[in-house]
Chain A
Amino acid sequence: MTAAPTTWQAALGTALVAGGVQIAVWVPDKRLAPIVAAIEAAGLPVRTLTREEECIGYAAGYRAAGGTPLVLMQCSGLGNALNAIGSLAVPYGLGFPLVISMRGTLGERNPSQMPLGRATTGLLALLGIESFPLRRPDDVAAVVRGALAVADGARTIAPIILDAALEL
């Protein structure tokens, strides 16, 4: 039996686990699902929560209690999460990696997805958070390593933005 080739999604999940992530919290999304599956396959707990700001709150508590959480959300959910990011994660210095799948960008057919897709990195920047785009599968290891360093050491949310080019 030949092993299936490793996808970039699996590589991303595996790299995050290898980098020290201990738990993943998310609101389900088709593009994030293979990443979450890789994290589960590595034996980590995954929590499906009801809303994206809840994921930020959960991760902030997990980090404050000494753990290393990961949040995954679709960019439209970033709108739901802004107050928890701005009033909790940022002022308290509670950093963690945040994988964001993109809608409302290259290839989008749904008009309702466009505004938040266009605003994603700008909204984060207004809160003082730099985004780290992942554009090529070959960059997975470096982007994960860098994002984990920022989250842990610099104590800020480290968004890994899954560029549309990864799937086109």
Chain B
Amino acid sequence: MDATAIVRALLAAEPDALAVASLGTATSALRAASDDGPHLYMGGAMGSALAVALGVAEARPERRVLALLGDGEVLMGAGSLWSLAGIRPPNLLVVILCDGHYSITGGQPLGAPGRFAEVAAALGLGTAVVSDLGEIAPSLAALPRPALVEVHYAPGEWPGPSPFIDPPVVRSRFEQAAAEGSS
């Protein structure tokens, strides 16, 4: 199981979701799994991706929104877990790709336990911890939203496409995707 396979399984379960991908592995894996779909790929601002997804979810409450985050990303912006619990957007699914490493900076290990689901559960959110591809779809189907899912996998090859995206192009494509179905 690698990051791209995980994201493919997520997209199969949430085919119409607007997705926000954090800097690094999440962005490259989403690019690979969606054939460069019109998602909000982040090329920087590490630690901000969950906040971005909260903004997307609240601006488009009629759409399902997927936040695809690295584990180091979430540690850097951990306060947003509390904001997630405070706002509780009913259309937001947060998935954390947990390989225990800062892949974008060369694979250094995290310096803290990546126990995000336990924190989220303490905050009153629906949670799941998954380490098998086949568990992803049933886990998502069973969870009330907002929900946080920890997906554990072993660090491996970089998922393929560059994480260094062209921001105006990403924004323009995402704006169009987000506008679909709105009045």
Contacts and interface: CB of A to CB of B under 8 A. Distances in A.
B105 interface: no
B47 interface: yes
Contacts of B83: 47, 49-50, 54, 58
A54 B46 CA distance: 11
Contacts of B42: 88
Contacts of B51: 49, 53-58, 61, 84
Given A87-B44, A92-B168, A93-B167, 19 more contacts: A22-B59, A45-B58, A47-B87, A53-B45, A53-B47, A57-B49, A57-B52, A58-B58, A61-B59, A64-B171, A65-B174, A66-B179, A83-B45, A84-B51, A88-B42, A88-B44, A91-B167, A93-B171, A94-B171
A90 B48 CA distance: 14
B178 A65 contact: yes
Contacts of B48: 53-54, 56-57, 60, 83-84, 88
16 contacts: A23-B59, A49-B83, A50-B82, A55-B51, A56-B51, A61-B20, A64-B40, A64-B174, A66-B60, A67-B59, A83-B46, A83-B48, A84-B51, A87-B45, A88-B45, A92-B168
Interface residues of B, number: 38
Interface residues of A, number: 34
Contacts of B174: 64-65
A35 B60 CA distance: 25
Nearest to A56: B48
A48 B79 CA distance: 12
A47 B86 CA distance: 9
